[in-house]
Amino acid sequence: MRIPKKLYDRLARKRRIRSRVRGSAARPRMTVYRSLSQISVQLIDDAAGRTVVAATTKELKAKPNTDGAKKLGTAIAKKAKDANIDTVIFDRNAYRYHGRIKELANAARSGGLQF
């Protein structure tokens, strides 16, 4: 079975980014997943191999648009602050830093996260 070029290129970008980005307990990796029905964010400690904090637009009852991304960014920043996490490494997961991804990152920054 052949993988479509669009998917193959996205997976290649993802591998390229993940080869340089590693999260730790002090500075977890903030990874974003975007689909048509939701946006989800996780703070992952790669050294221990576990998710520290997670949030989705589904649990916020928000739509997966730019407004929902802003709400998600502030929610993940609040959850991270409750877990005593101040700095993260942003992993855009092969998505362009544009639109929903950019709004989520800016909202997380204004919520107090540093990356």
Domain assignments of the chain as residue spans, ordered by start: 5-110
**pLDDT tens digits for 43-97?**
999 999 999 999 999 999 999 999 999 999 999 999 999 999 999 999 999 899 9
Decide if pLDDT at 24 tops 90: no
State the CATH class of domain 5-110: alpha beta
Kindly write down the DSSP assignment for every residue of 24-76, as one continuous string.
-SSS-EEEEEE-SS-EEEEEEETTTTEEEEEEEHHHHT--SSHHHHHHHHHHH
Q: How far apart are CA 86 and CA 78, in angstroms?
A: 10
- Please report which confidence band the pLDDT of residue 37 belongs to, taking 50, 70 and 90 as the band edges: very high
Mean pLDDT value across the chain: 94
In the chain, what is the greatest distance between 2 CA atoms, to the nearest angstrom?
46
